[in-house]
Structure 1
Amino acid sequence: MKYTRLTALAALGVAATLSLTACGNGSSGNDASSSVSSSSSSSSSDANASSKSGSGSSGSEASNAKSGSGEDSEAGAGAANGATETGGQVAFCKTADLAIDATDAAPDAGTGRINITMINRGSTTCSATGFAGVNIKDADNTSNPIERGQAQPRITNLKPGDAAVFNLAYQIDSGDSLADPTNIEVTPPNETHTVSLDWPAGAGEIMGAYTDVEVYPTHTVE
């Protein structure tokens, strides 16, 4: 009887041991699974963070590159427009620094043209851009302003020794003209001082009145 009871107790002990071992193994398996899951989640978070950080950095560099490109374009545009690095502009030529002369340049018997040349005798580059003011003085001592022709001014910068020219245009009278010009009074563009030039010898007589004469803007001599 005692033997049978001892055998039963031993069997219960073995069963309990197996049960505890099974529970321990299950817990260990859960812990391992949890550890792997946690490690995987951590790695995924680190990878996402790294990806976001890298993306943000690249975007910033691209923005900076675009910003730099824009500055270069503005500089190029500025250079194309003739602006200096300091933003300065060429000063207009002073009458005192210009040697001015008038010559007959009629291309044919019916067209009158007088070229007026201005040479920069100063020591620095200056601008002669625009229309000169012109009056024609008649033999009766009256002064007649000349209208501008239909033309757009061109940039006309003169280095020391360079020349610019503009012309007066009119139709030549084949008969007796009512105009009797003696002098051409010239005020360079954006100046207030005037010089008086002799009407060129040999220039054709003006058809009509002085209002039929036109002055054209300056341009450089090639």
Structure 2
Amino acid sequence: MKYNRIAAIAAIGVAATLSLTACNGDDTGAASSSQGSSSSASSSSSSSSGGGSKQDGGSESSSESGNAQSGSGDSTGAPDDAANGATETGDKVTFCKTEDLAIDAMDTAPDAQTGNIDITMINRGSTTCSATGFAGVDIKDTDNTSNPIERGHAQPRITTLKPGDAAVFNLSYTIDSSGNSLSHPTNILVTPPNETHTLSLKWPEGAADIKGAYTDVQVYPTHTTK
């Protein structure tokens, strides 16, 4: 009987232990499952947040790209403005027409070595116009040939003419004082900037002889007289 009671008590203890272990295992599993769900939810939230952040970043990048393109498109330098007939205030005006300009040539040599001829263009039209850039110039010789004049190294300046305003450009060359010049100019053929109609002017009386050939003469861009 004594051994039977001890065996029974031992059996009860083992059963209790097994029951307690089973309970702890369930609690641990539940906790683990809860933590797994929490971790999964956190991961999902983090992933969603990360996706939103990338989307915001992409939108910002697209905006900056658009601004850069717009800036690039709007950003213009003086040569572009000059080519488009822009004024200093950014307004657009049409180019001066040859028929609206009174054009004259005058010898303005500063010394005995440097030949200089100023060609003045006065706006006789009724509206403001642009004379910005280089005029086309040919010099006609006594042998009836026309010789194109090359551009000097200078940056065009915005030259806007209100009615009655004047613009000037000049021809520059080295004077031949030998008396043996091979150039014998009679006329200056002027085509205003961005025009196709040409006007013929008399070579200024008293202007010094050109040293070398007509290719040694240079024309410079227009500028206002104010």
TM-score, normalised by the number of residues in structure 1 = 0.72
CA distance in 1, matches of 2:150, 2:70: 36
Segments of 5+ residues of structure 2 without an aligned counterpart are 86-93
2:189 alignment partner in structure 1: 185
Residue aligned with 2:153, SS: coil
Distance 1:105 1:63, change over 3 A: farther
Segments of 5+ residues of structure 1 without an aligned counterpart are none
Which residue of 136, 139, 143 corresponds with 1:135? 139
Q: Is the 8 A contact 2:150 2:217 kept in 1?
A: yes
CA distance in 2, matches of 1:155, 1:71: 31
Distance 1:155 1:76, change over 3 A: farther
Q: Is the 8 A contact 2:169 2:220 kept in 1?
A: yes
Distance 1:156 1:145, change over 3 A: farther
Residue aligned with 2:75, SS: helix
Distance 1:99 1:21, change over 3 A: farther
Moved more, 28-37 or 46-55: 46-55
Residue aligned with 2:52, SS: helix
1:79 alignment partner in structure 2: 75
User: How far has the Cα of 1:213 moved from its partner?
Assistant: 5.0
Q: Is the 8 A contact 1:146 1:214 kept in 2?
A: no
Which residue of 143, 150, 160 corresponds with 1:148? 150
User: How far has the Cα of 1:76 moved from its partner?
Assistant: 2.7
CA RMSD of aligned residues (A): 3.6
Distance 1:182 1:57, change over 3 A: same
2:32 alignment partner in structure 1: 37
CA distance in 2, matches of 1:106, 1:24: 120
Which residue of 53, 61, 66 corresponds with 1:66? 61
1:190-213 Cα offsets, whole Å, 9 max, x none, are 422111223334x43214566255
1:171-198 Cα offsets, whole Å, 9 max, x none, are 3343546655443221123422111223
1:194 aligns with 2:198: yes
CA distance in 1, matches of 2:211, 2:77: 42
1:174 aligns with 2:177: yes
Partner letter of residue 109 of structure 1? A
1:160 alignment partner in structure 2: 162
CA distance in 2, matches of 1:136, 1:213: 15
| Pairing 1:74-113 to 2, within 5 Å after superposition | 74-77=69-72, 78-81=74-77, 89-90=84-85, 92-113=95-116
CA distance in 1, matches of 2:55, 2:131: 46
- Matched residue pairs, number? 211
Q: Is the 8 A contact 2:104 2:121 kept in 1?
A: yes
Partner letter of residue 160 of structure 2? L
Distance 1:99 1:73, change over 3 A: farther
- Larger Rg: 1 or 2? 1
Q: Is the 8 A contact 1:187 1:193 kept in 2?
A: yes
1:66-119 Cα offsets, whole Å, 9 max, x none, are 2222322333333234679xxx94454321233322222212122110011234
Residue aligned with 2:119, SS: strand
CA distance in 2, matches of 1:19, 1:175: 135
Q: Is the 8 A contact 1:95 1:194 kept in 2?
A: yes
TM-score, normalised by the number of residues in structure 2 = 0.71
Q: Is the 8 A contact 1:113 1:167 kept in 2?
A: yes
Distance 1:150 1:159, change over 3 A: closer
1:26 aligns with 2:21: yes
CA distance in 1, matches of 2:215, 2:8: 136
Distance 1:199 1:191, change over 3 A: same
